[in-house]
Chain A
Amino acid sequence: MPNLHLGLALDGAGWHPAAWREPDARPNDLLTARYWSDLTAEAERGLLDFVTIHDTLDAPPLRKDLVRGRLDAVLIAARIAPLTRHIGLIPVAVATHTEPFHLSKAIATLDYVSTGRAGVQITVSTESGHFGRRDLSASTEQELAAEAADYVEVLRRLWDSWEDDAEIRDAATGRFVDREKLHYIDFTGRWFSVKGPSITPRPPQGQPLIAATFQVGADLVFGGQFAELAVFLDDTEPAARDRRDRLNEITPPPGDIEVFAGTAQQLADHLVDRGAPGFRLHPAVLPHDLTAVTRDLVPELQRRGVFRREYEATTLRGLLGLSHPANRYALGSR
C-alpha cells in the first residue's frame, strides 16, 4: 500500500457549526494570527501534507448562535507561511468575484513567502450583493463552473508567463531580463480577457497546486481522488458519537460530507480500507479533533506503514508526488 496523503480543512472554530461551544474551542481567537499559526504548527508536527483555509465572499450568517467573523484566507496563509517549513498552505479563493490577475500574483507570492508550499482551492459564488456590478441571478451552476475553469486557465498561463530563467542581470548589455522569456498570455474568454505577462516572476513550484471540489481543471479534487471526511475523534467510540450527537442537537450540521465518529484506531482502519490515495479531514471541533489526528491517528497510520515518518520533500507538489512542471511557453517544451 503506497503512502496515504492527508490534508486538514481549517474553518473557523471547526467543521461543526456548534464547535465554538466546546470547552477547548477558542472562538475569541479566530481573528488572531496566533490561532491560525498554532493550528498549522500542530498540523505540521503531525507531518500532514497540507491545510486548506476556508473562505467566502458571501454574507456571514445572521443567526446569533453561529460564529461570525472571518479573515481573508490568502492573507492568513501568508501570515503563517514564514512560521512553518514543510506543510502545504491552500487558501480558498472565490473565482466569481475576483480578478484572476490579482489572485495569480497573490498565490505566486504565497509560493515565494512559503518557498514552494502554496496552493489555492477555487470556489464559486452565487451571491452578488457585495459586488453590485454583476447580476448572477441568471447564471447557472454550469456557467459559474465554466467561468472558474477559464479563471484557472488564466492562473496557469500567468504563472508560466515568466520562464524560470527570465531574469538574467546581464551587465554587458544592461538587460535585467531576457524579454524573449516573458510571454503575453492573450487569454480571451466569455467573461474576461487577460493580456499578461504577470508582474510576478514564475513561482518556486512553477505551478502552485490548484484544488477544487468540482471539475475545473484542478490538480487535486476534493471529493474526487481525495475523499472528504468530517471527523469526531475520542478515546472511545461512544464518547465520539455522544459528542457528535450533542453538537448535532444544538445546531444541525451541513449534510454535504460524510461524517466519521470513533477512535483514531478505527479511523486508521477506515482510511486504509477505503483505498483512496488521500483524504481531506475536516476536524469537527478545533483544536480537539485536529490534535487527535496529529497525535493519535498519524501514529496509528505510521504503525501500519502507510504514512510518512518525516517530510520527504520541501514543496507541496513534492509532498503530493507531483514534479516541477515544464513551462508551456518555454521553447524546449513546445
Chain B
Amino acid sequence: MTKQMHLAAHFPGVNNTTVWSDPQAGSHIEFSSFTHMAQTAERAKFDFFFLAEGLRLREQGGKIYDLDVMGRPDTFTVLAALAAVTDRLGLTGTINSTFNEPYEVARQFASLDHLSAGRSGWNVVTSWDAFTGENFRRAGFLPQEQRYSRAQSFLDAAFTLFDSWQHDGAFSYRDEHFDIAGRFDVPRSPQGRPVILQAGDSDEGREFAAASADAIFTRHGTLTAGQEFYADVKGRLARYGRRPHQLLVLPAVTFVLADTDAEAEERAALVRRQQVSGQTALRKLEEVWNRDLSGHDPDGPLPESDPIVGENTIALGRASTRMHKDPLALVAKWRALAEEKKLSIRELMIEVSARQTFVGSPATIAAAMDEFVQAGASDGFILVPHVTPGGLDEFADRVVPLLQERGAFRTEYTGETLRDHLGLDEGGDA
C-alpha cells in the first residue's frame, strides 16, 4: 500500500531564496499575505503552515543587510490570527528557548492550542549568540555548549506545565537552568501539548529530536542523503522507548513547476538568477572570504586575496556562516570551477547556489516526491515557495491532485487536530 506523505507550507523566509523582485511578489508583512498562503495550504489539505523566526536583523560588514526581503511578524500573534481564517490547518512556528521563559511560552502555546482548537506546533530552536542577545534582558548568558541542555530543560519545564492540570495546575520544576513553581492557569488544551518540531541537524540536534520531538526538519534533499538521515534518526528512537512513527522526518524543499520538464528547467535557472543578484553574489562571497569585497565587480573574476580563516566576523545573525567549516578548501574548489567554466563572481555563485529540490512538470514532481517517500527518505515535505504570497498556488492546483490520484496524499482531512493529521498520539499525560 502506498504510504501517504505529510505536507507543510513554509512561509517564505528572510533570505535570498525569497524573490522580492518578481512581479508577482507581494507584501511580506501584511496579514493578507499570510492569509493567502495559509488558505491555499488548507485548500490543498496540507498538514500545517510554518513560520520561521529571527530575532535580530542580519548585518554584514557592520551594516544592516539590505538585499533580502526582511521584516517579520511575531510568531504567536500571526498564528493566532490565522486560526480565525482557517479551520483545519496546523499552525506552527519557531520559538526560541534562549530568549524566553518556560512559563510564558507554555502559556502562549496552550492558549494557541485552545484558540485554534488543537492545531498548534512549536519548532524549538536554541541560540546563544550575543549579537541576538543584545535585544533581550536575558542577553548573552548562555555558553554555546549549554544551548541544547537549556533547550531540553526548557522543553521539560514546558511539558511539566502542559501536564499540570491533572494537579489543578500546581507545578514545580527545578534543574540547573530553571527553578520555578506555582500554579499554571491554562487548563489542558485540545492536543495536550503542541506538536514539537526540531530543526537541528547536528548529532546533538538529532538526539534532542529523538528524545522529545514529533517531527524533525532536515535539509537533505537527495534520495541517498535522505535515506541515511531517515534511518539514523528513526534508529535513535528505541533508546527513548519510542516507535518509528512517533518522529516524522520532513525535509524542507524548494520546487519549480512548469508545463514541461524543459520549461521548468529554464524557469529554475531564471529563478536562481533572480535569487542571486550581482550584489547578493558579492555578499555571499564575503561570507566565505570573511572580508569586505564591496570593491569587486560581480561580473568580473574572483578576488585574488585569500579568505580570513577563523571566527566569522563579517556576517552576523545568520545561520549559514557556520556551515563554511573550511573556507580555504572551499575557495580552492571554487577557483577551479570558475577557471574551468570561465565564470564571473555572479555566475559562480549562481552555479554553486542550492539547486531547487524538485524541478519539472506537475507529473514529474509528483512522481519524484512520491518516490522519495516510498523509498524511505522522508515522511513528507516542508515546501518553501520562493514568492510571497502566491508561491504555493500552482503547487496546490497542479501537483496536489496528482499526488492524491497516486494515493500518496489525503483528499480530505480525517481529523480535527494537527496531531490527528500527523498520526500522532495525544501529547503528554492527561
Contact = CB atoms under 8 A, between A and B. Distances in A.
A109 interface: yes
A137 B78 CA distance: 36
B103 interface: yes
Interface string B80-109: 110111000000000000011101100110
Contact of A197 (B57, B99, B277, B280): B57
Contacts, number: 189
B29 A200 contact: yes
A87 B78 CA distance: 19
Contacts of A191: 137
Given A79-B80, A182-B64, A200 B74 contact: yes
A328 interface: no
A78 B185 contact: no
A133 B141 CA distance: 12
Contact of B181 (A70, A129, A162, A195): A129
Interface string A52-91: 0000110110100000111110111011111100000000
Interface in B47-68: 54-57, 63-64, 66-68
B204 interface: no
B278 interface: yes
B180 interface: yes
Given A75-B115, A79-B81, A105-B74, A130 B103 contact: yes
Interface string A108-134: 111011010000000000010111110
B134 A193 contact: yes
Nearest to A192: B137
Contact of A129 (B78, B81, B85, B182): B182
A200 B73 contact: yes
B71 interface: yes
A270 interface: no
Given A57-B104, A101-B135, A33 B278 contact: no
A171 interface: yes
A193 B139 contact: yes
B101 A78 contact: no
Question: Which of B54, B81, B135, B179 is the most central at the interface, judged by chain A CB atoms within 10 Å of its CB?
Answer: B135
B21 interface: yes
Nearest to B277: A174
B71 A167 contact: yes
Interface in A193-217: 193-197, 199-201
Question: Which of A32, A176, A177, A200 is the most central at the interface, judged by chain B CB atoms within 10 Å of its CB?
Answer: A176
Interface string A209-240: 00000000000000000000000000000000
B345 to A, nearest CB: 14
Interface in A268-321: none
B21 to A, nearest CB: 5
A8 B103 CA distance: 28
A110 to B, nearest CB: 6
Contacts of A142: none
B78 A113 contact: yes
A192 B279 CA distance: 37
A78 B80 contact: yes
A99 interface: yes
Q: How large is the interface on B (under 10, 10 to 19, 20 to 34, 35 or more residues)?
A: 35 or more
Q: How large is the interface on A (under 10, 10 to 19, 20 to 34, 35 or more residues)?
A: 35 or more
A81 B84 contact: yes
B119 to A, nearest CB: 11
Question: Which of B66, B80, B279 is the most central at the interface, judged by chain A CB atoms within 10 Å of its CB?
Answer: B80
B111 interface: yes
A102 interface: yes
Contacts of A115: 31
B114 interface: yes
Nearest to B73: A109
Contacts of B187: 31, 68-69
B331 interface: no
Contact of A76 (B21, B29, B111, B278): B111
A83 B84 contact: yes
A4 to B, nearest CB: 30
A98 interface: yes
A199 B56 contact: yes
A98 B29 contact: no
B318 interface: no
Given A115-B31, A129-B180, A174-B278, A75 B111 contact: yes
Given A112-B31, A199-B55, A71 B183 contact: no
Contacts of B376: none
Contacts of B278: 174
Contacts of B84: 33, 37, 79-83
Contacts of A97: 101, 103-104
Nearest to B77: A109
Interface string A129-165: 1111100000000000000000000000000001000
26 contacts: A33-B83, A59-B182, A60-B169, A68-B169, A68-B187, A74-B77, A76-B111, A76-B115, A78-B78, A82-B31, A82-B35, A82-B84, A99-B100, A99-B137, A102-B100, A105-B74, A105-B77, A112-B78, A132-B178, A173-B279, A176-B66, A177-B70, A192-B136, A193-B139, A196-B135, A201-B29
Interface of A: 31-33, 37, 56-57, 59-60, 62, 68-72, 74-76, 78-83, 97-99, 101-102, 105-106, 108-110, 112-113, 115, 127, 129-133, 162, 167, 169, 171, 173-179, 182, 191-197, 199-201
Given A71-B114, A99-B137, A176-B67, 10 more contacts: A33-B84, A70-B186, A78-B76, A82-B85, A99-B99, A102-B100, A105-B74, A131-B101, A131-B103, A200-B29
